Structure 1
Amino acid sequence: MRVGVLTGGGDCPGLNAVIRAVTKSLIGQGQCEVMGIEDGFQGLMEASPRVRELTWDQVSGILHRGGTILGTSNSANPLRDDATKALVSRNAKALGLDVLVVIGGDGTMSLAHGLADVGLHCVGVPKTIDNDIAHCERSFGFDTAVATVTDALHRIESTANSHHRVMIVETMGRHAGWIALEAGLAGGADIIVLPEIDYDIAAIALRCRERELRQRYTIICIGEGAKESGASLTVRERVEGSPDPVRLGGVAHVLRERLQPHLKSEVRATVLGHLQRGGDPTPFDRVLATRFGHRAAQLVLAREWGRMVTLQHGEIGSVALGDVANAQRTVPLDHELITTALDIGISLGR
């Protein structure tokens, strides 16, 4: 069997751990030939496809490395038009690919599901720091991102305390608030603002004024998809032709401008951005990515195609790609962490 492997969407800590586990499992257990597709789907969208053979030795020593040795693209769309679909199909046949292991987020899983229509079998591996893939309670890369944001909040606190400021830290996460929620709890944020709960500027200002009289500083952790009641999302840019054309970012600066007139304290904003994607994966993410990669190889060898590896109730399993495509996992308003935050005095901006 000849198996292709690609990493799609944004980069993420743990991608190399998956590539390593998939490749070694397929070679060791199935004597498969493994081909790495370069730069995500883009490697299949060119007249001369860009691939490299992945051997046992080539994937050794990459477990701990951040990013992806194959490269990635968050704008390549193999289903863009009929000509692109035909090209991808021809390239896959020319390469002799029996199946493609696709490592990516919800957008990548939607594309993998659609590739069945052009005759390309796929097995998915969920990857995103946002932790927003449907039917998967934990995706690799998330733990590393939370650790990075938690460390940033800890460092920001010393500056906020020294200068008696209100410091706003913006996290990634798109329309899901998992990073902001878990990092806000771990980093001791006083206010956590989530995309799932529109904020009230008066309520946030009131909490900050209360802290001006006591601790004299406030830490606010806000997800990039958050917005004020009645307002629109803060869009950083639009990338036409991309599977996900809307790029969010900058809501921390919007909140700073709205909040400053209501306070005596100086308000500052920090957007962490791609810092959350970089660096080596945590041990948790290395193990989870390895488990996912191993399970993906098992699905390939069993010819259980059209499925995505998942983690549910602490157990590794799989779900149909069609159940994941065009779906998203956001923070339920009755989630335990929401209740915990409120009960220990953290404001959620309402």
Structure 2
Amino acid sequence: MALVSSTPNVTSSINSGQRGLDLKGSNTTTSLFSSVNMWKSRRNNNNTKKKLSLVIRAVAENQGDIDFNDPNWIKHYQDEFEERFNLPHLRDVFDMKPIPTTFSLKHRGPQLVDGANTPEVQRKNGYVNEDDRTLLKVIKYSSPTSAGAECVDPNCSWIEQWVHRAGPRDKIYFQPGKVKAGIVTCGGLCPGLNDVIRQIVVTLELYGVKNIVGIPFGYRGFFDNALQEIPLSREVVQNINLAGGSLLGVSRGGGSTSDIVDSIQARRLDMIFILGGNGTHAGANAIHDECRKRKLKVAVVCVPKTIDNDILLMDKTFGFDTAVEEAQRAINSAYIEARSAYHGVGLVKLMGRSSGFIAMHASLSSGQIDICLIPEVPFSLDGPYGVLHHLQHLIQTKGSAVVCVAEGAGQDLLQKSGATDASGNVVLGDIGVHIQQQIKKHFKGVDVPVDVKYIDPTYMIRACRANASDAILCTVLGQNAVHGAFAGYSGITVGICNTHYVYLPIPEVITTPRFVDPNSRMWHRCLTSTGQPDFL
């Protein structure tokens, strides 16, 4: 491959999910792409702004830089992408023969086994071909300077990226009557957990599985002998979707991978469905690897659960729509309080440790927010361009203001404790309380009375039941998780990409959280709605 002397740096959006591409030469391995994920601007000690763009750079180890004019590089990239997104399958390790599916919507009974492969039956039951793919990205950018552009070369070349379509197959790799399936919910609460549990159980029974159990309180349930399996059936889960929370309970953290797999082996589980976020997915991937190492014929399938909507590559995760909808109640209350008070300020803190999707979407949908602060966009409170100065301007001109802040925003303004929770997440400082205090201090200093009302609806939102939109998403994700397990896949997660339901290898969604792109059209729309300036 031809090499050139200069490195073409291309500004790109943060969620492309590109990783190093290994091109095998005669004696060398060339890393074609590396992502710079430390893209967020930060303030230095002099309070000046450092702008660090996410850059996807061409890198050739010890050889110089890749020549993007080489016509073969796109093919190499596409081949590597396809290899990365190939789904791990149990037949990669075991000599497993497929059998006709027992899942049928139009025909039930013994006759299905003999007739499952007829075109008419396949059509009526909506079986998905193993080679079906979904296009991951649909926008063709003409320039790296386009809003939200995701480019891998200076010319923004169009590169097709395909992922596996989810759904029932006409061939399966498990005898349903012999299957024991387990379900576990990890991390914190999220609207829709019970909906997913319910649909997994219902779909398993449609396949003919009779032995279904719930593992209580996350990964802890695998190694805490005081916690017993919860037998599950359609009768048990029939109405659990009418309430929030998790029938199985949740917890953060867990034991060693070896101990968990020991428990899976002792329980004789054939399928394990794991609901959780980035950390839970990383744990599930380790469980999948350990099962392979031990030659255990276990299908490990994840359903992404994060109310923050911060899973890579996916359009959205369940619970997010409900969170945005419920956040409107808090924002509306803050707005009414602010408008009803003399020099009123409503301050709402919403969820979002590292990603500000909830705050951004809630601000945009409410139309009542004057200032939206998210983790991805740094800001100053003080100074002529700070939040407090703009807030003072709003009070003087409008008489009131409403501020929405994500919990992970402005952490550089707070004293760091260094503590971590059971999942290994850094314990965040309370930016909401800090801003509330600073608002009062600032307005006292300029001798302007202000009435601040602070609302934190976090636990009210987490514990509520899923709305209609999320309930549908949960239902389809639960169904597809079961379809994926019976299709013989393991080490995968289910999700929605480009409006279609897909299967993705777990490693591809845990490389980094998904962030709001400050150059995206959605963030620009939010700024248009709030009218806020740059706070640096």
On whether the aligned pair clears a TM of 0.5, the verdict is yes
TM-aligned CA deviation for residue 64 of structure 1: 2.5
Query: In 2, distance between residues paired with 1:177 and 1:315?
Result: 24
- Name the counterpart of 2:526: 341
1:98 aligns with 2:270: yes
Report the AA paired with residue 110 of structure 1: A
Query: In 2, distance between residues paired with 1:268 and 1:237?
Result: 29
**Could you tell me which of 291, 302, 309 is aligned with 1:124?**
302
Report the AA paired with residue 332 of structure 1: D
Q: What do the CA deviations read for 1:290-342 (whole angstroms, capped 9, x no partner)?
A: 01000101001101111000111111111101112352111011222211122
TM-aligned CA deviation for residue 234 of structure 1: 6.3
**Could you tell me which of 203, 206, 219 is aligned with 1:28?**
206
Give runs of aligned pairs for residues 257-296 of structure 1, distance below 5 A.
257-263=437-443, 264=448, 265-296=450-481
Query: In 2, distance between residues paired with 1:277 and 1:288?
Result: 17
- Name the counterpart of 2:420: 238
Computing the radius of gyration from Cα coordinates, the structure with the larger value is 2
TM-aligned CA deviation for residue 48 of structure 1: 5.9
Q: What do the CA deviations read for 1:204-231 (whole angstroms, capped 9, x no partner)?
A: 1232222222321110000011117x53
CA contact (8 A) 2:302 2:492 kept: yes
TM-aligned CA deviation for residue 259 of structure 1: 3.0
Larger RCO, structures 1/2 (Cα 8 Å, 6+ apart): 1
1:86 aligns with 2:255: no
Larger helix proportion, structure 1 or 2? 1
1:332 aligns with 2:517: yes
Query: In 2, distance between residues paired with 1:166 and 1:90?
Result: 55
> What is the DSSP-based 3-state SS (H/G/I as helix, E as strand, rest coil) of the residue aligned with 1:311?
strand
Report the AA paired with residue 51 of structure 1: E
> What is the DSSP-based 3-state SS (H/G/I as helix, E as strand, rest coil) of the residue aligned with 1:16?
helix
TM-aligned CA deviation for residue 59 of structure 1: 1.2
- Name the counterpart of 2:329: 151
Equivalenced residue count is: 341
CA contact (8 A) 2:364 2:525 kept: no
CA contact (8 A) 2:364 2:529 kept: no
CA contact (8 A) 2:241 2:465 kept: no
Query: In 2, distance between residues paired with 1:348 and 1:16?
Result: 42
Structure 2 spans left out of the alignment, 5+ residues: 1-178, 292-297
Query: In 1, distance between residues paired with 2:424 and 2:352?
Result: 14
Report the AA paired with residue 342 of structure 1: L
Query: In 2, distance between residues paired with 1:66 and 1:317?
Result: 26
Query: In 1, distance between residues paired with 2:370 and 2:182?
Result: 46
Identity of aligned residues (%): 27
RMSD: 2.0
Q: What do the CA deviations read for 1:75-133 (whole angstroms, capped 9, x no partner)?
A: x3233xxxxx3332222112110121001111111110111233164100011111111
- Name the counterpart of 2:92: none
Report the AA paired with residue 205 of structure 1: L
> What is the DSSP-based 3-state SS (H/G/I as helix, E as strand, rest coil) of the residue aligned with 1:226?
coil
Query: In 2, distance between residues paired with 1:219 and 1:182?
Result: 15
1:314 aligns with 2:493: no
> What is the DSSP-based 3-state SS (H/G/I as helix, E as strand, rest coil) of the residue aligned with 2:306?
coil
Query: In 1, distance between residues paired with 2:290 and 2:226?
Result: 18
- Structure 2 length as normaliser, TM-score? 0.61
**Could you tell me which of 300, 305, 314 is aligned with 2:485?**
300
CA contact (8 A) 1:135 1:319 kept: no
Query: In 2, distance between residues paired with 1:130 and 1:233?
Result: 24
Report the AA paired with residue 34 of structure 1: I
> What is the DSSP-based 3-state SS (H/G/I as helix, E as strand, rest coil) of the residue aligned with 1:247?
coil
- Name the counterpart of 1:82: none
Deviates more, 1:301-310 or 1:323-332: 323-332
